[in-house]
Amino acid sequence: MVGLDALLSVIENPARRRILEALAREPHYPLQLSKELGMSQQAVMKHLRVLESCGLVKSYREESDLGGPMRNKYYPTVNFTIVVDVGTNIFHAEVTTREHEPAPVEAEEKQAREDQAKELRERMSEIDRRLLDLQRQREELIEEKESIMDEVTRLTADLPDYQARRAMYEFISRPDLDPRQIARQLSMRDEVVMRYIKEWLEG
């Protein structure tokens, strides 16, 4: 699985994002990408090598439809989503990947093309609507998290020890971690973190 830092390093380049966008539609060979994106074929190949080295694309050999030599056609190999939340007292970044088996190109059509296109558009519209609803719900939950962490900041402001404030920040913001896991994450001793938490909870 490709890590978050590696993905961010690769897709920060606008040209590589445009190449991935084109490949997401259908496999392309370098000359197609060069013409479509207005780049030199040399530049396209340079970006494809970067994407391939990170495992984001692969290629297969295909005969030219113009009777020329065999050529490489590229396609994406990783489906992923990157989420980054930044706000007052909140920072969260993660990458998730999904398995996806594309439908066979020669799949038999079960209905007239016009009806099929209408159905696909309706399904896509419904998916977009649901994604928008989820995005709004997510924004509301992020605002609630920010409010909670604002309260934590207020409650820990009187702690003179920076490490104690860090420990309490992690203790509240990462309920999935126990004190020992928090200690490892902060490179602190277990007993120190547990003492900070005990003293803070007891007031």
pLDDT in tens, the chain (203 residues): 678 888 889 999 999 999 999 999 889 999 999 999 999 999 999 999 999 998 899 998 887 766 667 889 999 988 888 888 888 888 888 888 876 555 544 444 545 777 888 888 999 999 999 999 999 999 999 999 889 988 988 888 888 889 999 999 999 989 999 999 999 989 999 999 999 999 888 87
14 within some domain = yes
Q: How many domains does the chain have?
A: 3
Is residue 195 within 8 A of residue 168, CB to CB? The reply is no
Same domain, 76 and 150: no
Q: What CA–CA distance (Å, rounded) separates 96 from 4?
A: 9
Q: Could you tell me the maximum CA-CA distance found in the chain, to the nearest angstrom?
A: 80
141 within some domain = yes
Same domain, 19 and 80: yes
Same domain, 137 and 194: no
Range(s) of the domain holding residue 166: 158-202
Same domain, 46 and 120: no
Same domain, 20 and 91: yes
Same domain, 30 and 81: yes
Is residue 155 within 8 A of residue 98, CB to CB? The reply is no
Q: What CA–CA distance (Å, rounded) separates 133 from 130?
A: 5
**Which pLDDT score, from 0 to 100, does residue 116 have?**
84
Q: Which of 182, 176, 149, 150 is nearest to 164 (CA)?
A: 182
Same domain, 145 and 174: no
SS (H, E, C) the chain: CCCHHHHHHHHCCHHHHHHHHHHHHCCECHHHHHHHHCCCHHHHHHHHHHHHHCCCEEEEEECCCCCCCCEEEEEECCEEEEEEEEECCEEEEEEEEECCCCCCCCCCCCCCHHHHHHHHHHHHHHHHHHHHHHHHHHHHHHHHHHHHHHHHHHHHCCCCCHHHHHHHHHHHHCCCCCHHHHHHHCCCCHHHHHHHHHHHHHC
